[in-house]
Amino acid sequence: MAHTIYENFVLANTVEDQYNSHLDLMRTFQRCFPRTELEIKHTQGYHPHPIISIVLPLPVGQSSECELLDFEVTQSSDGSGIAEKLNTGMPAGIRVLECYEVTRPVRELYALQADVTLEYDNGVPAGAAEAIHGLLHRESLIIEKRTKRKELAEVDIAPMILDAIVTEGENALHIDLKVQAQNPGLNPQLIEKAIARELPELMPDFIRVRRKRILDAEGKDFR
């Protein structure tokens, strides 16, 4: 009797791929899976496709080193060789780093760590690093964001900011940001709204977000 094993991919999503959507990525893998020769569980019906899901889909416009994709196989597998087979057909900007059997539920995923870069065309304003560091360490930090019903609502994001270290570089501020991942989670991009509301004179000309790690409650890599 066949048994089901849940597998995880760890993905790298580079700047070249940052404007592809969640659905674009799903379709990419649906096309690439036949190369692995794995017996992957499919949907029922006239047009079956692999059952896969992406844990904490990356917002459009952000890049990452640590996306997780879950899928099911109906055969024993240790994951070896799968990443290499998939990478032969992957488009530029997407690479599978490793594949392994799932041993932990997604509910144990707790935090995201990201590099947030605030770019200033005319140089970093004086005192900006200290001011933004203070902003991200307030006990309360209210922003406006749209709900699932497309309505504007005020949200306090301070409890979802777990840590923030701000350093100054050439024409940019770099924020090593750790945020809560779920229930509720915080999109690192939303700190731009906090700056716009509280420190409009320090608004950057451009913001870049790169997800670096997915963590459990103990601060260890989730896998």
What is the average pLDDT across 174-200? 95
Q: How many CB atoms lie within 10 A of CB 85?
A: 17
d(CA 73, CA 167): 45
Query: What is the pLDDT at residue 2?
Result: 30
Checking if the pLDDT of 63 tops 70, the result is: yes
Q: How confident is the model at residue 73 (pLDDT cuts 50, 70, 90)?
A: confident
Question: Which of 15-19, 45-49, 85-89, 133-137 ranks highest by mean pLDDT?
Answer: 133-137
Checking if the pLDDT of 7 tops 70, the result is: no
Checking if the pLDDT of 77 tops 80, the result is: no
pLDDT above 70 as % of the chain: 89
Query: What is the pLDDT at residue 19?
Result: 57
Query: What is the pLDDT at residue 1?
Result: 22
| The dihedral formed by the CA atoms of 15, 117, 106 and 69, expressed in degrees to the nearest 10 | 0
Comparing 30 with 214, which gets the higher pLDDT?
214
> Tell me: the pLDDT tens digits for 121-134?
999 999 999 999 99
Q: Which domains does the chain have, with CATH numbers?
A: 5-103 (3.30.70.580), 109-216 (3.30.70)
What is the β-pairing status of strands 172-180 and 161-169?
antiparallel
For the chain, give the mean pLDDT. 84
Retrieve residue 158's tokens.
Answer: 């301070």
The amino acid that residue 93 corresponds to is G
d(CA 57, CA 68): 9
Checking if the pLDDT of 16 tops 90, the result is: no
pTM of this prediction?
0.83
Q: How confident is the model at residue 47 (pLDDT cuts 50, 70, 90)?
A: confident
What is the average pLDDT across 155-173? 96
Checking if the pLDDT of 202 tops 50, the result is: yes
Find all residues with CB under 8 Å of 72, minimum gap 6, and list them: 4, 5, 6, 7, 40, 41, 51
